[in-house]
């Protein structure tokens, strides 16, 4: 039998592989093994989530950021960016529009903006939860103190996304300035879990300096952490960052990693990300066909979308945006899935 097909079977059965086995599977698998991997991922996903795809309304509410990550377009030192911050009223208007479309899960994503103090975030969380008690609120606002995470959880936030970025410390150091710490980021993720959030981690595929071993480390980290959500997408260079001249990550490898993560954590919530859709015309659909089960259309106002430029050519219109919502639903139906109007919680027992 094809050795890699055997590894896929082992991964499905045991939900883990040795680091060397992960690397074998990721590194340019033959057509037969790739197809087999995707088929297994889709089947595992179907057993738990049927043909349902969950929708998250993404609100990019501020692009101010105190951090200076070498890869990110909204880094502090990027002065060619128009900075903006939505008002609480603008944020609730986004939610109104999303709710009318059937969206029951909102993600508040922003840079690490000093204006996002606890009192302000509590006000926004309370406003959304009191207006839409049937909706989930997810925060994606970076590293904070344990007390702050606790306060925002008590105010009603349900979920928190904080990508670990890389499970390898030396690699983390090469992607971030020395003001940021790999250990601190991991501690934040641990604390979020302890507090009771549904937690999401994740990483970029093909970030500068990433090796096969780093990816194996990421997979083992994810397996041990058992997050409810995992966000991965290809690295895409942004022209005003120190990493402007590095090549983008591979769509193919991203798809393989989505499938592997589905087999590692069968019930995980796995988005087909905007970065994947940006690099490849039908990237989102291919993500869903590799085991993803979540899409996150952007429901921010157009002026915000135009300036939340994490990377070059970031999609911000069509089915990526609120105006293209019905197009998004059609594209999901078109590949045999069904977008549901629900909070879309993780079906972990």
Query: Which residue stretch of 97-105, 117-125, 215-223, 231-239 sits at the interface with ligand 5AD (rule: CB under 6 A)?
Result: 231-239
Q: Does 222 bind ligand 5AD (CB under 6 A)?
A: no
Element (H, E) at 301: none
Q: What does the alpha-carbon distance between residue 209 and residue 29 come to, in Å, rounded to a whole number?
A: 21
Alpha helices, H only, the chain: 3-14, 19-26, 31-49, 88-101, 118-131, 146-154, 169-175, 182-195, 212-225, 251-264, 274-279, 283-288, 302-305, 325-334
Q: Does 235 bind ligand 5AD (CB under 6 A)?
A: yes
Q: Does 238 bind ligand 5AD (CB under 6 A)?
A: yes
Q: Which of 163, 176, 228, 262 binds ligand 5AD (CB under 6 A)?
A: 163
Output 113 or 165, the one with its CB closest to ligand 5AD: 165
Shortest Å distance, C-beta 255 to ligand 5AD: 16
Q: Does 309 bind ligand 5AD (CB under 6 A)?
A: no
**Is the C-alpha dihedral spanning 30, 36, 38, 40 positive or negative?**
negative
Shortest Å distance, C-beta 233 to ligand 5AD: 6
Residue span 119-158 as binding mask against ligand 5AD, x where in contact by CB under 6 A, dash where not: ----------------------------------------
Shortest Å distance, C-beta 249 to ligand 5AD: 8
Element (H, E) at 167: none
Q: What does the alpha-carbon distance between residue 35 and residue 228 come to, in Å, rounded to a whole number?
A: 26
Output 22 or 71, the one with its CB closest to ligand 5AD: 71
- For the purposes of burial, counting CB atoms within 10 Å of the CB of 311, is it exposed (0-12), middle (13-18) or buried (19 or more)? buried
Contact residues for ligand 5AD, defined by CB under 6 A: 71-72, 163, 165, 204, 233, 235-236, 238, 275, 310-311
């Amino acid at each position: 039998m094809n050795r890699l097909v055997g590894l896929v079977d082992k991964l499905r059965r045991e939900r883990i592989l040795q680091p060397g086995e992960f690397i074998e599977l990721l590194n340019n698998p033959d057509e037969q093994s790739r197809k087999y991997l995707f088929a297994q991922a889709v089947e595992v996903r179907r057993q738990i989530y049927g043909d349902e795809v969950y929708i998250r309304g993404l609100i990019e509410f501020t692009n101010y950021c105190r951090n200076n990550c070498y890869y990110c377009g909204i880094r502090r030192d990027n002065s060619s960016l128009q900075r903006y911050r939505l008002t609480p009223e603008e944020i609730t208007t986004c939610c109104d529009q999303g709710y009318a479309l059937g969206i029951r899960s909102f993600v508040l994503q922003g840079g690490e903006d000093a204006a996002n103090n606890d009192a302000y975030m509590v006000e926004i969380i309370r406003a959304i939860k009191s207006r839409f008690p049937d909706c989930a609120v997810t925060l994606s606002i970076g590293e904070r103190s344990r007390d702050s995470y606790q306060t925002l959880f008590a105010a009603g936030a349900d979920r928190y996304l904080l990508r670990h970025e890389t499970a390898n410390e030396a690699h983390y150091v090469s992607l971030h300035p020395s003001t940021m710490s790999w250990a601190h980021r991991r501690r934040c993720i641990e604390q979020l879990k302890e507090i009771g959030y549904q937690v999401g981690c994740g990483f970029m595929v093909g970030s500068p300096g990433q090796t096969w071993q780093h990816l194996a480390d990421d997979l083992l980290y994810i397996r041990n952490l058992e997050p409810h959500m995992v966000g991965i997408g290809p690295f895409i260079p942004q022209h005003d960052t120190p990493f402007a001249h590095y090549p983008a990550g591979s769509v193919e490898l991203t798809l393989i990693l989505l499938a592997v993560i589905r087999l590692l954590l069968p019930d995980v919530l796995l988005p087909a990300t905007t970065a994947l859709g940006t690099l490849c015309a039908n990237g989102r659909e291919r993500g869903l066909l590799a085991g993803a089960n979540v899409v996150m259309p952007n429901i921010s106002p157009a002026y915000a979308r135009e300036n939340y430029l994490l990377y070059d050519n970031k999609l911000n219109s069509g089915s990526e945006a609120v105006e293209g919502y019905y197009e998004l639903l059609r594209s999901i139906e078109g590949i045999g899935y069904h977008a549901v109007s629900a909070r879309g919680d993780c079906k972990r027992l």
